[in-house]
Amino acid sequence: MRYLILSDIHANWEALQAVLEHACDRYDAMVCCGDLVGYGADPEAVVDWARRNVQAIVRGNHDKAAIGLEDIEWFNPAAAFAAQWTQRQLSPASLEYLRQLPRGPLAVGDFQILHGSPVDEDEYLISPYEAASLYGYLNAPVSFFGHTHLQGGFLVEPDGAAEIGQVPADRTSATVELTATGNWLINPGSVGQPRDGDPRAACALYVPEERRVTFYRVPYDIARAQRKILDAGLPESLAFRLAYGA
């Protein structure tokens, strides 16, 4: 079985389409680590697509915000505005779909998916130090997470954690062989709003039988996604940041 791992699509239809086209026949199933919506201009199209195509998914904080489950006082003003705008764009079926999304971690075969951290779905997992503190909480040899929008992740061992880097800017993919023992905490990166300095859409392909993860970066029509955000009346900053991957 080959899994296409997606996270943090954030209503960016152009980025999602580019990723799916790029991955075309390389996967058998799709999973998502949360945040289908928020920030981008196409929440209804993305949620409707996920409802029909994604095999396993956990909720993200922006999915919760769109159904009134997250206290948006904690959101920055642009994110809070986008969350309220998003809620108004969603059909009853899409709102219901978001309402029934499970909290991670969720077991999928012999791995698991989660949004923030295995102990708190809203926690940002950024440093190896933070990853190392989770050693006893990882219930699967391989876990995929999102939330930070930073492609890469960690190999967590009893005495610490080592960082896995993102795809270099001059390349389109990078493969990690999962041969070392320890717990792998892997972030496929954000499809719709990368924040690791690379504006290309991010995703990963996982082949458990071959113990291998391949990270991808895919160029997409950023200008079109930006135009839609501005035309929708969403905050300009949400359009501008897409060009920088920030």
**Cβ atoms of 174 and 203 closer than 8 Å:** no
Of positions 11, 14, 15, 35, contacts Zn ion by CB under 5 A: 35
Please give the full DSSP string across 84-142, using - where no structure is assigned: HHHHHH--HHHHHHHHTPPPSPEEETTEEE-SS-SS-TT----SHHHHHTTGGG--SSE
CB of 180 to Zn ion, least distance (A): 28
Q: Which helix or strand (DSSP H or E) is residue 30 part of?
A: strand 29-32
**Rule CB under 5 A: is residue 42 a binding residue for Zn ion?**
no
- CA–CA distance, 214 with 203 (Å, rounded to integer): 9
**Rule CB under 5 A: is residue 8 a binding residue for Zn ion?**
yes
Binding piece for Zn ion, criterion CB under 5 A, among 1-9, 67-75, 87-95, 213-221: 1-9
Binding piece for Zn ion, criterion CB under 5 A, among 29-37, 40-48, 129-137, 222-230: 29-37
The burial class, CB within 10 Å (0-12 / 13-18 / 19+), for 52 is: exposed
- 87 vs 160 by CB, closer to Zn ion: 87
CB of 24 to Zn ion, least distance (A): 25
Q: Which residue is nearest to Zn ion (CB)?
A: 35
* Structure tokens, 25: 């026949």
- 8 vs 118 by CB, closer to Zn ion: 8
**Rule CB under 5 A: is residue 70 a binding residue for Zn ion?**
no
CB of 208 to Zn ion, least distance (A): 25
According to DSSP, residue 209 is labeled G
Residues in contact with Zn ion by the rule CB under 5 A: 8, 35
